[in-house]
Amino acid sequence: MEVLTAHGAVGLIGDDTSLMIGGFLGVGTPESIITELIAQKKKGLTVIANDSAFPDKGIGRLISEQLVKKLIVSHIGTNPVTQKQMIEKSLEVELVPQGSLIEKIRAGGVGLGGILTPTGVGTVVEESKQIIESEGKKYILELPLKAKFALVKAKKADYMGNLFYSLTAKNFNPLIALAADIVIAEVEEIVPVGSMSPEEIHTPGILVDYVVVGGKKNG
């Protein structure tokens, strides 16, 4: 694990790359890294996340700046800018039921070939997807999701990269840390090794490549 500034961490991210970003309506989202992505004008991004938050918060700020090419999420109802860009076809939006989305990410993280789910059978969700029947019941085969980078927000890290998330700000963060080639964690503080109990470690340091100390406390 290496400690970097937000500027240095975002400098590792190129245009036209894929990002998994933690958070639920902006809570548990690495806002300092988002700010730097905007400052460095990283464009053509494919973003995988739970939702697009709000126009002025979290992932929504990337969309407002028109830096996102494709969005894979479960919800865009709180962000009219996302809706507008989708209707205008300047932004490709793939909507996935939330439970299916997180399981697709989990599958990518643990090396599974996909998951079988009844969610969406008989609806537009199943379009262009393989249907598998088992014991008389139909399931959609949902393929795994992975990304080049995972951007997570934790309350604290130690100098081995072990991460602790605060309450509901944990949300998607631990799972997306499994499903990306490079993990960048924004934290509020770095504490000495050994100061966190094993029960506090939600993401082990072996998964974390870089840590950024951010300023905004949003979980």
Q: Which two tokens stand for residue 88?
A: 């205008």
Domain residue spans in the chain?
2-114+146-213
Contacts of 77 (CB under 8 A, 6+ apart): none
Provide the CATH number for the domain formed by 2-114+146-213 in this structure: 3.40.1080.10
Strands annotated E in 49-136: 68-73, 92-95, 115-117, 131-134
pTM score, whole prediction: 0.91
Model confidence at 218, in pLDDT bands (50, 70, 90)?
low
For residue 5, the number of C-alpha atoms closer than 13 Å in the C-beta half-sphere is: 4
Average pLDDT of every residue of the chain? 94
Which pLDDT tens digit goes with each residue over 98-138? 999 999 999 999 999 999 999 999 998 888 899 999 999 99
Which pLDDT tens digit goes with each residue over 170-196? 999 999 999 999 999 999 999 999 999
In this prediction, what percent of the chain has a pLDDT beyond 70?
A: 98
In DSSP terms, 134 is beta-bridged to: 137
